[in-house]
């Protein structure tokens, strides 16, 4: 994740027990490239000290409206003015109420009132506080006022109850913040994708699979969702978290993947085949575990259907994007695959450059030629692919 490179974020931390997660949030925001400036309320400081946030952010932590360290005594104006966003996590019920009513009796509420940058709140509170009519009225008013609200989620609460009101996990907040800044170039588009390896069963416990990690496909699903698309991700067996806003359908074998794709793709604008679909599967799957016999064992394989070629040949085919991982002669193999499957766009990479790792080097192939993207994290490569793809889509009618 480096989708916050160059962004300056003011992080407000108010007095809820979820403040302990704000320390991890600062670390993750920094890892994603953000320059984080923490504003800690009096209540927040009761849970976590300023020293923790200062050490993690590498920046001065602000708490006091009357802080003499600001040369012009205008901390409330200067901090907000230079930021790309003010994010408050956790935002307590009391803090939310004070923002809704335009109170400005401490540094953080004053910053929120005297801002011309987006304000995002990640609520955290007990279930009953969240469900109470005043809080619900306040949340509705925030939305009218153009304030973004991330979460909350349902689950175990510090008070021992279970229900709505938990702050989103720091990873989810970072992911949503990255998405917040992404231009919505795929808004209103439905994207169906495949990702990961397939598993072709030999018997109930064995099968043929490959080394695809699914990381590129999941990064691309996340980038599409962050660009505003409605994303269906048909996924082979991988243990990756489902990106926020993505609908994941599990499909282990090529045949299961094909069925799931054909059921979802009829109203799609885009289909992207990222999965490393097995070319062959065992002709028969043994009903019971195959036992050693002392003899050589022959397994007959039969060819799998090519899902991507089949979707590309549909009468009202969506815009189809293929992937090609090659061990040599990338240009020649990639372009011939693109022609053979009749794809407007194909993403090629050398197996040694990308498979399994966190970074990738890809070249995009389309009718206009080859377009190499710089080597980068799979998240950044995915954003590059989405940009290119969005520019190729026919205008919506």
Whichever of 299 and 309 has its CB closer to ligand C5P, that residue is 309
**Which residue in the set 100, 275, 312, 350 belongs to the binding site for ligand C5P (CB under 6 A)?**
275
CB of 210 to ligand C5P, least distance (A): 11
Q: Which of 178, 196, 276, 175 is nearest to 240 (CA)?
A: 196
Whichever of 8 and 248 has its CB closer to ligand C5P, that residue is 248
Per-residue contact string for residues 213-252; x = within reach of ligand C5P by CB under 6 A = ----------------------------------------
Q: Does 282 bind ligand C5P (CB under 6 A)?
A: no
Whichever of 231 and 324 has its CB closer to ligand C5P, that residue is 324
Please state, in angstroms and rounded to a whole number, the distance separating the CA atoms of residues 236 and 275. Answer: 7
CB of 237 to ligand C5P, least distance (A): 15
Whichever of 93 and 254 has its CB closer to ligand C5P, that residue is 254
Catalytic residue among 112, 159, 224, 320: 159
CB of 388 to ligand C5P, least distance (A): 16
Q: Return the sign of the alpha-carbon dihedral for residues 265, 271, 272, 273.
A: positive
Give buried/exposed letters for 100-125 (b at 16+ CB in 10 A, else e): beeebebbbbbbbeebebbbbbbbbb
Q: Return the sign of the alpha-carbon dihedral for residues 330, 335, 338, 339.
A: negative
Environment class of 293 (CB within 10 Å of its CB; exposed 0-12, middle 13-18, buried 19+): exposed
Please state, in angstroms and rounded to a whole number, the distance separating the CA atoms of residues 21 and 148. Answer: 20
Please state, in angstroms and rounded to a whole number, the distance separating the CA atoms of residues 44 and 11. Answer: 12
Residues constituting the chain: 397
Q: Does 254 bind ligand C5P (CB under 6 A)?
A: yes
CB of 254 to ligand C5P, least distance (A): 5
**In this chain, which stretch among 25-33, 118-126, 141-149, 301-309 interacts with ligand C5P, using CB under 6 A?**
301-309
Q: Phi/psi zone of residue 212: left (φ > 0), alpha (ψ -120 to 50 degrees), beta?
A: beta
CB of 304 to ligand C5P, least distance (A): 5
* Measured CA angle at 346 (ends 358, 375), to 5 deg: 30
Whichever of 10 and 307 has its CB closer to ligand C5P, that residue is 307
Count the residues of the shown chain that bind ligand C5P, applying the rule CB under 6 A: 14
Whichever of 310 and 359 has its CB closer to ligand C5P, that residue is 310
CB of 370 to ligand C5P, least distance (A): 17
**In this chain, which stretch among 150-158, 236-244, 270-278, 388-396 interacts with ligand C5P, using CB under 6 A?**
270-278
CB of 262 to ligand C5P, least distance (A): 12
Residue 320 falls in the annotated catalytic set: no
Q: Does 338 bind ligand C5P (CB under 6 A)?
A: no
CB 192 within 8 A of CB 270: yes
CB 254 within 8 A of CB 200: yes
Environment class of 8 (CB within 10 Å of its CB; exposed 0-12, middle 13-18, buried 19+): middle
Please state, in angstroms and rounded to a whole number, the distance separating the CA atoms of residues 144 and 189. Answer: 26
Report which residue's Cβ sits closest to ligand C5P. 273
**In this chain, which stretch among 92-100, 164-172, 179-187, 316-324 interacts with ligand C5P, using CB under 6 A?**
316-324
- Which DSSP string corresponds to 243-272? PTTEEEEE--SHHHHHHHHHHHGGG-SEEE
Per-residue contact string for residues 318-337; x = within reach of ligand C5P by CB under 6 A = ----xxx------------x
Q: Does 194 bind ligand C5P (CB under 6 A)?
A: yes
Report the interface residues with ligand C5P, using CB under 6 A: 194, 254, 273-275, 277, 304, 306-308, 322-324, 337
Q: Which residues are catalytic?
A: 159
């Amino acid at each position: 994740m480096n989708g916050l490179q160059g962004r300056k974020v003011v992080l407000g931390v108010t007095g809820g027990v979820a403040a302990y997660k704000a320390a991890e949030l600062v670390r993750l925001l920094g890892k994603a490239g953000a320059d984080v400036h923490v504003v800690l309320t009096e209540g927040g400081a009761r849970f976590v000290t300023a020293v923790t946030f200062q050490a993690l952010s590498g920046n001065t932590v602000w708490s006091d409206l009357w802080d003499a360290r600001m040369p012009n005594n205008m901390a409330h104006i200067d901090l907000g003015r230079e930021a790309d966003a003010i994010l408050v996590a956790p935002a307590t019920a009391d803090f939310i109420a004070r923002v809704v009513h335009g109170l400005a009796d401490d540094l953080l509420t004053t910053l929120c009132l005297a801002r011309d940058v987006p304000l995002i709140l990640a609520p955290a509170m007990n279930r009953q506080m969240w469900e109470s009519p005043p809080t619900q009225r306040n949340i509705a008013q925030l939305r009218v006022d153009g304030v973004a609200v991330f979460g909350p989620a349902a689950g175990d609460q510090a008070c021992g109850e279970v229900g709505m009101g938990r702050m989103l996990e720091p990873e989810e907040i970072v992911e949503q913040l990255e998405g917040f800044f992404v231009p919505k170039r795929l808004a209103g588009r439905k994207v169906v994708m495949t990702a990961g390896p397939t598993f072709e069963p030999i018997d109930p416990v064995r099968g043929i699979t490959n080394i695809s990690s699914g990381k590129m496909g999941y990064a691309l699903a996340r980038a599409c969702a962050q660009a505003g698309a409605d994303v269906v991700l048909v996924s082979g067996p991988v243990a990756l978290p489902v990106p926020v806003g993505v609908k994941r359908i599990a499909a282990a074998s090529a045949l299961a993947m094909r069925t799931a794709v054909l059921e979802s793709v009829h109203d799609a604008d885009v289909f992207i085949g990222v999965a490393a679909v097995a070319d062959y599967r065992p002709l028969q799957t043994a009903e019971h575990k195959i036992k050693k016999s002392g003899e050589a064992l022959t397994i007959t394989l039969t060819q799998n259907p090519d899902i991507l070629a089949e979707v590309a040949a549909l009468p009202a085919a969506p815009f189809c994007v293929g992937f090609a991982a090659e061990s040599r002669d990338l240009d020649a193999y990639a372009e011939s695959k693109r022609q053979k499957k009749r794809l407007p766009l194909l993403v090629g990479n050398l197996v040694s450059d990308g498979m399994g790792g966190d970074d990738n080097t890809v070249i995009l192939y389309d009718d206009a030629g080859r377009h190499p993207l710089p080597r980068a994290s799979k998240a950044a490569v995915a954003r590059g692919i989405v940009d290119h793809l969005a520019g190729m889509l026919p205008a919506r009618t």
